């Protein structure tokens, strides 16, 4: 008798919204090797970072059998999926993306896509954030995701790190390789843009991102510029372990007075 191999279960989320091209391209490409569930915001929530909705209820709408939209943040989406929708049959893997644009360097701190993956990590599951450094070749990023998932099938990812993947906006055959990188850094953002709305009220727009400051060899910025897929393992522990002793000594100065 032929043994049926159980399909991988993957939860997809994003910050560009449930109808975004990126997440739907990803779902289509992964459907042959995995059972896909999509839980994503009802609209664009880029820049939401790890925010949760605490002072109003989450409204969830079922769009299709395996597609739900949430009137909330990317973190809300993953939290709802894992603690309510899929509580009795958790996914094997969480993928956030494909993001419409890069998540490189310190931009990852603001990214709702990275936050969705991080929430999965917090809840004990292996998680990947994947972004296209542009808005054209989503199929390329989806093929990159497919390769990573196939690697996961052979040797499962651990839950100790979140993988932040950035894919150059080009055809798959134009990629020049893959590189494990560290996060680069930007200068601070440019000045805010002051404007006036139709009612004559003063409004402000956030300025453009700052220019690249640390973008040398080994960084995610550098890899993408060379048309390589950048994979940065992220850790969530923000503790500055090498400063614990120094801060302890600093506090002792005050207590000794």
- Contact present, 30 and 3 (Cβ < 8 Å): no
State the pTM of this model: 0.89
Q: Quick one: pLDDT at residue 4?
A: 46
- Contact present, 119 and 51 (Cβ < 8 Å): no
- Contact present, 105 and 221 (Cβ < 8 Å): yes
Identify which of 157, 177, 87, 97 has the alpha carbon closest to the alpha carbon of residue 123: 87
What is the spatial distance between Cα 113 and Cα 98, in angstroms, rounded to a whole number?
A: 8
What is the spatial distance between Cα 60 and Cα 225, in angstroms, rounded to a whole number?
A: 39
Q: Quick one: pLDDT at residue 49?
A: 86
Any idea which residue has 């360097």 for tokens?
105
What is the spatial distance between Cα 212 and Cα 171, in angstroms, rounded to a whole number?
A: 25
Q: Quick one: pLDDT at residue 213?
A: 61
**What's the farthest any 2 CA atoms get from each other in the chain?**
80
Mean pLDDT for back-to-back runs of 10 residues, the chain (257 residues): 66 97 97 96 90 91 96 96 93 96 91 95 94 96 97 86 96 96 75 84 74 75 95 90 90 69
CB atoms within 10 A of CB 102: 22
Q: Quick one: pLDDT at residue 3?
A: 45
- Contact present, 98 and 130 (Cβ < 8 Å): yes
pLDDT digits (tens, 9 = 90+) for 87-129: 889 999 999 999 999 999 988 998 999 999 999 999 999 999 9
């Amino acid at each position: 008798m032929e043994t049926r191999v159980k399909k991988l279960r993957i939860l997809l989320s994003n910050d560009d919204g449930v109808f975004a091209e990126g997440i739907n391209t990803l779902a289509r490409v992964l459907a042959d090797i995995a059972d896909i569930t999509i839980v994503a915001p009802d609209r664009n929530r880029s820049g939401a970072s790890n925010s949760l909705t605490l002072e109003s209820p989450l409204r969830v709408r079922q769009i299709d059998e395996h597609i739900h939209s949430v009137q909330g943040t990317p973190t809300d989406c993953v939290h709802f999926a894992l603690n309510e929708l899929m509580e009795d049959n958790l996914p094997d893997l969480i993928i956030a993306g494909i993001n419409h644009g890069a998540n490189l360097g310190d931009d990852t701190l603001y990214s709702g896509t990275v936050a969705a993956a991080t929430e999965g990590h917090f809840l004990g599951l292996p998680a990947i954030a994947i972004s296209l450094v542009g808005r054209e070749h989503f199929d390329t990023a989806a093929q990159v995701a497919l390769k990573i998932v196939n690697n996961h099938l052979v040797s499962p990812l651990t839950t100790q790190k979140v993988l932040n993947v950035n894919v150059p906006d080009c055809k798959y055959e134009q990629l020049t390789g893959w590189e494990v990188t560290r996060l680069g850094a930007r200068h601070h953002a440019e000045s805010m843009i002051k404007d006036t709305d139709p009612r004559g009220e003063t409004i402000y727009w956030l300025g453009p991102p700052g220019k690249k400051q640390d973008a040398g060899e080994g960084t995610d910025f550098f890899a993408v510029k060379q048309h390589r897929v950048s994979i940065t393992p992220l850790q969530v522990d923000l503790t500055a372990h090498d400063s614990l002793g120094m801060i302890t000594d600093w506090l002792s100065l005050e207590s000794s007075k």
